[in-house]
Amino acid sequence: MTDKQVYPVTPEVAKHALINKDQYQAMYKQSIENPDQFWAEHGKRVDWIKPFTKVKNTTYDYNALSIKWFEDGELNASVNCLDRHLESRGDQTAIIFEGDDPSDSRNVSYRELHDQVCKFANVLKSQGVKKGDVVTIYMPMIVETAVVMLACTRVGAIHSVVFGGFSPEALGSRVVNGKSNIVITADEGLRAGRKIPLKKNVDAALKNDDRHTVKTVIVVTRTGGDVAWTEGRDQRYEDLMTNASADCKPEPMNAEDPLFMLYTSGSTGEPKGVLHTTGGYLVYASMTHQYIFDYHDGDVYWCTADFGWVTGHSYILYGPLVNGATTLLFEGVPNYPDSSRMGQVVDKHQVNILYTAPTAIRALMAQGESCMDGTNRSSLRILGSVGEPINPEAWKWYHRVIGNGECPIVDTWWQTETGGILISPLPGATDLKPGSATVPFFGVQPALVDAEGTLLEGEAEGNLVIMDSWPGQMRTIYGDHERFIQTYFSAYKGMYFTGDGARRDADGDYWITGRVDDVLNVSGHRLGTAEVESAMVSHPKVAEAAVVGYPHDIKGQGIYVYVTLMQGEEPTDELKKELVQWVRKEIGPIASPDVIQWATGLPKTRSGKIMRRILRKIAANEYDQLGDTSTLADPSVVDDLINSRQSK
């Protein structure tokens, strides 16, 4: 990377900031040298029903792996998000709801949210939901989704939110894997004026997958559209809420009791149910939210993510609400009704902190600066970026156009597995470099290793690992602890392997270069190549498929699929369209292939392993850098692929 430009902390930002340069250095040092003392102090930022006496009990020793934080403490997440604010800020807005339609918005106070959550917690109880049960949530971005998530935590149930853009097939397998007895959904979602048939998808998921044990489906009315009804199973949210009491005693949870699970893609197999526990997660999510976004009381904070991803969990819901913040919940998309929407929403609600994704910024950038016409965004103070590396051009555009050249950008690197942000600037403490996630948060020890696991010193590029545990770390893969250990702790013994590559520059700043495993990052959404391949080959005309990512201007990465057809099948453009539809149906629109290339054969080693490295180069049009092809079973396959790629 040649971009050496630095944006130093400005005096105005430094004056206002919670943490300055010296404080960052001192606190970071303490957090690494004396983690017990550091986290004992910061663990008190949440309210404990029974205070912890133990702080950190973790080992990355491969044969004795164990991760426990605050292990003898007891607390409840909904109490930390709601009850504890009632006295001091009961009438303050907790959630600003901004609907898909710009005329549809409302504010929900902490008191109202508390009422709704207690009521729905009682509804859950009346439906037989108990501590430790898994509740599947398949909902749009509406206030009720926050209510349902928090109500689960009040009774000690584990929520499993499935992104509303996933297909019935993807939903069904997650319901089955989580052994969920109950699904909460809405009649339809609304996005960019279009209706998303959520209830219909739930019906299809439960009908097509007979391995599930779902007894109850609760349906929130969002559009009032017609939906099919299964008597005895389906219940209307509004009916159940009418008679529910707003008095519900919170379930005391051990710090290490599960809070939620969330599926994410890996390089192999089915998506993994990443499990987070209660105490460490809440401490970490709220602390990172406060310091990284330099959140001050009274700020209006907007994270544009969806509840279906971890960003929606940690930085729309839990982090902000534990901190007593006003968090904006947006149902729509940044370019509806037109591309000025983001700026419009910022002005309308006087947003101070905006947290969004590089793909959204690039999409706006492609519209030209005029997409901010008619808005001034003068309320903004801090900007955030998440989901994929942000290219310096997009970073500078975000800074200059959206932030009027005045707001620091925090480029926050983390993962579903990490629970919260691990590497990011702090606005008042870190000089910014466009494209760099810069420095670790308190308690986080990143390092780089080569392929053999040797630690690299100083300026270097390698695989990104984390040397010791932090409180927000995932604890297991739901139902498969062995897979947890294998996936994250077996590549490099004694270290957590992130799956990302990174560079550390001469100043010690980190630059994330992207995944080094077979995981794609499409518009900030994570997808396993194996998942897309398995969807592809389930089509009757497909013999074999290989999926790779390739550079895409807006999405960051696009999906490129090499397909070998069954003997006798015709490679037509109609079939390409059919295959795209097939993958959308199997996984969801986010997995739509961008390019399908017919292949008569795929480059494989003599042991039959597909060499994706070569396929990535061909997809990216980099034919002169194919590397060593001598280990291929049939090297001529490569020439065929290049020829058919070039003749297109």
Binding-site entries for ATP? 387-389, 411-416, 500, 515, 526
Query: Of 100 and 388, which has the nearer Cβ to ligand WT7?
Result: 388
Residue ranges for the binding site for CoA? 191-194, 311, 335, 523, 584
- Told to check if 512 binds ligand WT7 by CB under 6 A, we report yes
- Told to check if 413 binds ligand WT7 by CB under 6 A, we report yes
**DSSP reduced 3-state for 493:** coil
Determine how β-strand 353-356 pairs with β-strand 300-303. Answer: parallel
**DSSP reduced 3-state for 433:** coil
- Told to check if 250 binds ligand WT7 by CB under 6 A, we report no
Per-residue binding string, ligand WT7, 484-503, x by CB under 6 A, is: --------------xxx---
ω into 337 cis (within 30 of 0): yes
List the one residue from 80, 116, 311, 326 that touches ligand WT7 (CB under 6 A): 311
Structure tokens at 23: 């404080």
- Told to check if 555 binds ligand WT7 by CB under 6 A, we report no
Gap between the Cα atoms of 56 and 281, Å rounded:
13
List the one residue from 319, 324, 332, 389 that touches ligand WT7 (CB under 6 A): 389
- Told to check if 416 binds ligand WT7 by CB under 6 A, we report yes
Residue 361 exposure: Cα atoms within 13 Å on the Cβ side: 30
Per-residue binding string, ligand WT7, 516-535, x by CB under 6 A, is: -----x----x---------
In the complex, the smallest distance separating the C-beta of residue 511 from ligand WT7, rounded to whole angstroms, is 9
H or E segment at 109? strand 105-109
Query: Of 289 and 526, which has the nearer Cβ to ligand WT7?
Result: 526
User: Residue 313 gets which letter from DSSP?
Assistant: I
In the complex, the smallest distance separating the C-beta of residue 363 from ligand WT7, rounded to whole angstroms, is 17
> How many other β-carbons are positioned within 10 Å of the β-carbon of residue 640?
14
Residue ranges for the binding site for Mg(2+)? 537, 539, 542
In the complex, the smallest distance separating the C-beta of residue 543 from ligand WT7, rounded to whole angstroms, is 31
- Told to check if 415 binds ligand WT7 by CB under 6 A, we report yes
Structure tokens at 3: 């971009």
- Told to check if 388 binds ligand WT7 by CB under 6 A, we report yes
Judged by CB under 6 A, the stretch of 215-223, 226-234, 296-304, 306-314 that binds ligand WT7 is 306-314
In the region spanning residues 436 to 455, those forming contacts with ligand WT7, defined by CB under 6 A, are: 437
Provide the residue count of the chain: 648
- Told to check if 267 binds ligand WT7 by CB under 6 A, we report no
Judged by CB under 6 A, the stretch of 200-208, 249-257, 510-518, 622-630 that binds ligand WT7 is 510-518
Query: Of 279 and 472, which has the nearer Cβ to ligand WT7?
Result: 472
Query: Of 515 and 617, which has the nearer Cβ to ligand WT7?
Result: 515
Structure tokens at 210: 């007979």
- Told to check if 515 binds ligand WT7 by CB under 6 A, we report yes
User: Residue 554 gets which letter from DSSP?
Assistant: T
ω into 358 cis (within 30 of 0): no
Q: Residues with Cβ < 8 Å from 458, sequence gap 6 or more?
A: 504, 506
Residue by residue, what is the 3-state secondary structure of 36-90? HHHHHHHHHHCCCCECCCCCEEEECCCCCCEEEECCCCEECHHHHHHHHHHHHHC
Size of the site for ligand WT7 (CB under 6 A): 24
- Told to check if 264 binds ligand WT7 by CB under 6 A, we report yes
Structure tokens at 207: 């009908």
Structure tokens at 352: 């101070």
Q: At what angle do helices 168-177 and 573-586 cross, to 10 degrees?
A: 30
Judged by CB under 6 A, the stretch of 102-110, 234-242, 304-312, 479-487 that binds ligand WT7 is 304-312
Gap between the Cα atoms of 566 and 569, Å rounded:
6
Largest CA distance in the chain: 73
- Told to check if 387 binds ligand WT7 by CB under 6 A, we report yes
Query: Of 43 and 387, which has the nearer Cβ to ligand WT7?
Result: 387
Query: Of 288 and 469, which has the nearer Cβ to ligand WT7?
Result: 288
CA angle 590, 591, 595 (to 5 degrees): 115
Query: Of 113 and 448, which has the nearer Cβ to ligand WT7?
Result: 448
In the region spanning residues 322 to 361, those forming contacts with ligand WT7, defined by CB under 6 A, are: none
**DSSP reduced 3-state for 427:** coil
Judged by CB under 6 A, the stretch of 67-75, 303-311, 326-334, 622-630 that binds ligand WT7 is 303-311
Query: Of 353 and 638, which has the nearer Cβ to ligand WT7?
Result: 353
Distances (CA, A) of 371 to 54, 191, 299, 305, 423: 52, 20, 25, 20, 31
User: For residue 387, which of 531, 592, 526, 527 has the smallest C-alpha distance?
Assistant: 526
Residues that bind ligand WT7 (CB under 6 A): 264, 309-311, 385-389, 411-416, 437, 498-500, 512, 514-515, 521, 526
